[in-house]
């Protein structure tokens, strides 16, 4: 009986550790994705109301997303921000059409929302399922 108690306690401790570690990892990813979703939504709102970003705002985006190490952004996130800024600058200088810019923003938003919702799936709290899926 004592053996079963010890195994049960060890299993519960293991599950708590797994839950905590994986939850924190996913929360950090969700935070970074949420920041990108906000940026894309700002681009959509500004596009719909014909309000371009000001140079000061672009500098804030670059400094806060690309040069601030306090945010939970990785290389992929920084690549997405650089891509957004490149597409925005091309739209601003009339290198791409309004339709292409609008498509980019809406398509990017759909992909980011999918990624955000994917991180909320409960099966992601298992090391084994993460590896197999």
Question: What's the rounded Cα separation, in Å, for the pair 66 and 112?
Answer: 18
Where on the phi/psi map is residue 10: left (φ > 0), alpha (ψ -120 to 50), or beta?
Answer: alpha
Q: What is the pLDDT of residue 85?
A: 94
Highest mean pLDDT among 7-11, 48-52, 107-111, 127-131: 107-111
Question: What single DSSP character describes residue 62?
Answer: I
Choose among 56, 112, 54, 123: nearest CA to 83: 112
Choose among 88, 110, 112: nearest CA to 100: 88
């Amino acid at each position: 009986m004592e053996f079963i108690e010890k195994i049960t306690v060890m299993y519960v401790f293991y599950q708590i550790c797994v839950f905590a570690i994986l939850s924190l990892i996913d929360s950090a990813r969700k935070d970074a994705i949420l920041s990108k979703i906000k940026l894309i939504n700002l681009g959509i709102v500004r596009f719909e109301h014909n309000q371009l970003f000001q140079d000061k705002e672009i500098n804030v985006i670059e400094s806060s997303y690309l040069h601030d190490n306090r945010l939970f952004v990785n290389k992929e996130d920084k690549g997405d921000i650089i891509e957004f800024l490149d597409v925005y600058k091309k739209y601003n200088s009339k290198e791409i059409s309004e339709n292409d810019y609008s498509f980019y923003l809406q398509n990017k938003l759909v992909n980011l929302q999918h990624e955000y919702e994917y991180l909320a799936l409960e099966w992601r709290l298992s090391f084994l399922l993460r590896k197999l899926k």
